[in-house]
Structure 1
Amino acid sequence: MRRSRRQWGLALAVVALVVGLVLVGLEMRRDFERVRALRQETAQSHKAREELQTVFSLMQDAETGQRGYIISGDPDFLVPYTTATERLGRELPQLRAAYAGDPVQRANIAELERRIAVKQTAMREALEAHDRRGREAGLTAVATGGGKAAMDRIRATINRMTDVDARALMALTQRVEARSRSTEAMVTAMFVALIALVAGGAALLVRYVTTRRRLLAEVRATAARQEAIFDSAIDAILTLNPSGTIETMNAAATRMFGWSVQELGRRDVAVLLEASDQGDKGLMARIRAGGADATGGLVQELTGRRRSGEAFPVDVAFSPLELPTGVHLVAVVRDITDRRRVEELKKQFVSTVSHELRTPLTSIAGSLGLLAGGAAGSLSERAGRLIGIAHSNSLRLVRLINDILDVEKLESGQINLELQPIDLREVAIRSLDNVRGYADGLGVRLELAEGPAAPVMGDVDRLVQVVVNLLSNAAKFSPESGTVEVAVMPEARIVRLSVRDHGPGVPDAFRARIFTKFAQADGSDTRQRGGTGLGLAIAKEIAERHGGRLWFESAPGEGATFHLDLPMTVGDAAPQTTHGPRLLIVEDDPDAAEVLRIMLAQDGFDALVAGSAAAALDAVEGEGFAAILVDLQLPDADGIGLIRALRERPGTVDTPVVVVSADVARGRARGRSLEVIDWLEKPFDQERLRSAIAAVLERLGRQAPVILHVDDDPDILQVTAETLAGIAEITHATSLSQARKVLARARPDLVILDLGLPDGSGLELLPDLGEGAKGIPVVVYSAQDMDAALGERVEAVLVKSSASLADLARTVRRLTFTPRDR
Structure 2
Amino acid sequence: MANSLRRVRLVILGISLLLLLLLLAGAAVGSRVLADGRAQREAMDGSHSVVASLLELRSALFEMVVERNLILSRAPDAPQGGYAAARQRVLDRQAALQRLVADSPTQAWSAAELAEAAELFATRLDETVNRRLGEGLDLPMLLREAVAERNRLSSRIDAMITYERNELARFNEAYAGRMAQLRALFLALFVALVALALAAVWSFHRYLRGNAVRYHALEEAKQAADAANAALWESRGQLQSILDHARDPILLVDSSSRVQVANAAAARQFRQPLAEIIGSPVQALVPAYGARSGEVQARRADGSVFTADLSIGRYNESGNSASVCVLRDVTERRRLDELKSEFVSTVSHELRTPLTSIRASLGLVTGGVAGALPEEVRELLDIAHKNSERLVLLVNDILDIEKIEAGRLEFRRERVSARALLAQAQAANAAYAAQFEVRLEAAGDGTVDADVYADVARIQQVLANLLSNAAKFSPAGSVVELSLEVEAGDVTFRVRDHGPGIPQAFRGRIFQRFAQADSSDVRQKGGTGLGLSISRAIIEHHAGSMGFTDAEGGGTCFFFTLPRLVDRSTLPSPAPREARRPRVLIVEDEPAVAMLLQMLLDEHGWDGVIAHNAREAFERMDRETFDAMTLDLMLPDVDGISLFRRLRQRPDGKALPVVVISATAALGRQELNGDAVGVVDWLDKPISQGRLRDALRRALQGSEGPARILHVEDDQDITRVVSAVMGEEARLVPARNLAEARAALAGELRFALVIIDLGLPDGSGLDLIQDIRAMDRPPPVLVFSATDADHRTAREVAGTLVKSRTENGVLHDTIRHLMDAARPSRAEAADEARDGGEPRQSTETLA
Report the Cα offset of residue 270 of structure 1: 6.2
| Residue type at the aligned position of 1:353 | V
In structure 2, do the counterparts of structure 1 residues 425 and 340 end up closer, same or farther at CA, with 3 Å as the change threshold?
Answer: same
Does 2:512 match 1:522? no
Report the Cα offset of residue 168 of structure 1: 9.5
| Residue type at the aligned position of 2:524 | Q
Cα contact 1:439–1:446 (8 A) shared by 2? yes
Report the Cα offset of residue 265 of structure 1: 6.0
Q: Structure 2 unaligned segments of length 5 or more: list them.
A: 1-221, 584-590, 606-630, 641-657, 672-680, 830-838, 840-847
Whole-angstrom CA distance in 2 between matches of 1:335 and 1:382: 62
In structure 2, do the counterparts of structure 1 residues 390 and 557 end up closer, same or farther at CA, with 3 Å as the change threshold?
Answer: farther
Helix, strand or coil at the partner of 1:474: helix
Report the Cα offset of residue 709 of structure 1: 0.8
Aligned with 2:710 (options 703, 708, 711): 708
Aligned with 2:768 (options 762, 765, 770): 765
In structure 2, do the counterparts of structure 1 residues 233 and 168 end up closer, same or farther at CA, with 3 Å as the change threshold?
Answer: farther
Aligned with 2:601 (options 624, 627, 631): 624
In structure 2, do the counterparts of structure 1 residues 383 and 228 end up closer, same or farther at CA, with 3 Å as the change threshold?
Answer: same
Whole-angstrom CA distance in 1 between matches of 2:721 and 2:223: 82
User: Could you give the per-residue CA deviations for residues 278-329 of structure 1, whole angstroms, max 9, x where no partner exists?
Assistant: xx3xx4xxxxxxxxxx69xx85644345567653222344567877899876
Cα contact 1:425–1:453 (8 A) shared by 2? yes
In structure 2, do the counterparts of structure 1 residues 169 and 504 end up closer, same or farther at CA, with 3 Å as the change threshold?
Answer: farther
Q: How does 1:578-593 map to 2 (within 5 A)?
A: none
In structure 2, do the counterparts of structure 1 residues 485 and 734 end up closer, same or farther at CA, with 3 Å as the change threshold?
Answer: same
Q: How does 1:673-712 map to 2 (within 5 A)?
A: 676=683, 694=694, 697-698=697-698, 703-712=705-714
| Residue type at the aligned position of 1:778 | V
Does 2:503 match 1:507? yes
Partner of 1:810: 813
Whole-angstrom CA distance in 2 between matches of 1:525 and 1:502: 17
Name the larger-Rg structure.
Answer: 2
Does 2:245 match 1:232? yes
Partner of 1:731: 733
Helix, strand or coil at the partner of 1:234: coil
Partner of 2:447: 452
Whole-angstrom CA distance in 1 between matches of 2:247 and 2:277: 20
Cα contact 2:308–2:327 (8 A) shared by 1? yes
Q: Which moved more, 1:368-377 or 1:762-771?
A: 762-771
In structure 2, do the counterparts of structure 1 residues 697 and 336 end up closer, same or farther at CA, with 3 Å as the change threshold?
Answer: closer
User: Could you give the per-residue CA deviations for residues 492-548 of structure 1, whole angstroms, max 9, x where no partner exists?
Assistant: 776554332221122233334433443332333333212223323333344455555
Cα contact 2:633–2:660 (8 A) shared by 1? no
Aligned with 2:781 (options 754, 774, 778): 778
Report the Cα offset of residue 343 of structure 1: 2.8
Report the Cα offset of residue 789 of structure 1: 2.9
Whole-angstrom CA distance in 1 between matches of 2:690 and 2:598: 27
Does 2:392 match 1:337? no
Cα contact 2:495–2:559 (8 A) shared by 1? yes
Partner of 1:352: 346
Whole-angstrom CA distance in 2 between matches of 1:814 and 1:363: 22
Cα contact 1:553–1:562 (8 A) shared by 2? yes
Helix, strand or coil at the partner of 2:502: coil
Aligned with 2:372 (options 363, 374, 378): 378
Whole-angstrom CA distance in 2 between matches of 1:700 and 1:360: 35
| Residue type at the aligned position of 2:707 | P
User: Could you give the per-residue CA deviations for residues 12-63 of structure 1, whole angstroms, max 9, x where no partner exists?
Assistant: xxxxxxxxxxxxxxxxxxxxxxxxxxxxxxxxxxxxxxxxxxxxxxxxxxxx
| Residue type at the aligned position of 1:359 | T
User: Could you give the per-residue CA deviations for residues 617-660 of structure 1, whole angstroms, max 9, x where no partner exists?
Assistant: 986575635789xxxxxxxxxxxxxxxx999999xx9878899x
| Residue type at the aligned position of 2:809 | A
| Residue type at the aligned position of 2:464 | V
Q: Which moved more, 1:734-743 or 1:758-767?
A: 758-767
Does 2:470 match 1:474? yes
How high is the sequence identity, in percent, across the aligned residues?
39
Q: How does 1:319-718 map to 2 (within 5 A)?
A: 330-410=324-404, 414-415=408-409, 417-448=411-442, 451-452=446-447, 454-457=449-452, 458-488=454-484, 496-546=492-542, 548-555=544-551, 558-566=554-562, 567=564, 570=567, 622=599, 624=601, 676=683, 694=694, 697-698=697-698, 703-718=705-720
In structure 2, do the counterparts of structure 1 residues 656 and 497 end up closer, same or farther at CA, with 3 Å as the change threshold?
Answer: farther
Does 2:168 match 1:172? no
Cα contact 1:318–1:330 (8 A) shared by 2? yes
Whole-angstrom CA distance in 2 between matches of 1:545 and 1:330: 33
Helix, strand or coil at the partner of 2:754: strand
In structure 2, do the counterparts of structure 1 residues 701 and 233 end up closer, same or farther at CA, with 3 Å as the change threshold?
Answer: closer
Report the Cα offset of residue 564 of structure 1: 4.5
Cα contact 1:320–1:327 (8 A) shared by 2? yes
Whole-angstrom CA distance in 2 between matches of 1:658 and 1:414: 58
Whole-angstrom CA distance in 2 between matches of 1:267 and 1:520: 57
In structure 2, do the counterparts of structure 1 residues 678 and 473 end up closer, same or farther at CA, with 3 Å as the change threshold?
Answer: farther
In structure 2, do the counterparts of structure 1 residues 521 and 168 end up closer, same or farther at CA, with 3 Å as the change threshold?
Answer: farther
TM-score by length of 2: 0.53
Helix, strand or coil at the partner of 1:746: coil
Alpha carbon RMSD of aligned pairs, Å? Answer: 5.1
In structure 2, do the counterparts of structure 1 residues 230 and 658 end up closer, same or farther at CA, with 3 Å as the change threshold?
Answer: farther
In structure 2, do the counterparts of structure 1 residues 241 and 451 end up closer, same or farther at CA, with 3 Å as the change threshold?
Answer: closer
User: Could you give the per-residue CA deviations for residues 130-164 of structure 1, whole angstroms, max 9, x where no partner exists?
Assistant: xxxxxxxxxxxxxxxxxxxxxxxxxxxxxxxxxxx
Q: How does 1:12-411 map to 2 (within 5 A)?
A: 171-172=226-227, 228-239=241-252, 248-261=261-274, 273-275=285-287, 280=288, 283=289, 299=293, 301-305=295-299, 310-318=304-312, 330-410=324-404
In structure 2, do the counterparts of structure 1 residues 433 and 474 end up closer, same or farther at CA, with 3 Å as the change threshold?
Answer: same
Whole-angstrom CA distance in 1 between matches of 2:398 and 2:635: 55
Partner of 1:755: 758
| Residue type at the aligned position of 2:342 | Q
| Residue type at the aligned position of 1:737 | A
| Residue type at the aligned position of 2:725 | T
Helix, strand or coil at the partner of 2:727: coil
| Residue type at the aligned position of 1:806 | G
Does 2:722 match 1:720? yes
Q: Which moved more, 1:306-315 or 1:735-744?
A: 306-315
Whole-angstrom CA distance in 2 between matches of 1:390 and 1:786: 29
Report the Cα offset of residue 740 of structure 1: 2.0
Whole-angstrom CA distance in 2 between matches of 1:337 and 1:624: 61
In structure 2, do the counterparts of structure 1 residues 510 and 734 end up closer, same or farther at CA, with 3 Å as the change threshold?
Answer: same
Report the Cα offset of residue 230 of structure 1: 3.9
| Residue type at the aligned position of 2:332 | D
User: Could you give the per-residue CA deviations for residues 389-409 of structure 1, whole angstroms, max 9, x where no partner exists?
Assistant: 222222222222323333444
| Residue type at the aligned position of 1:624 | L
| Residue type at the aligned position of 2:265 | A
TM-score by length of 1: 0.54
Partner of 2:586: none
Higher RCO, 1 or 2 (CA under 8 Å, sep at least 6)?
1
Whole-angstrom CA distance in 2 between matches of 1:559 and 1:784: 38
Report the Cα offset of residue 706 of structure 1: 1.3
Report the Cα offset of residue 456 of structure 1: 1.8
Cα contact 2:632–2:660 (8 A) shared by 1? no
Q: Which moved more, 1:412-421 or 1:495-504?
A: 412-421
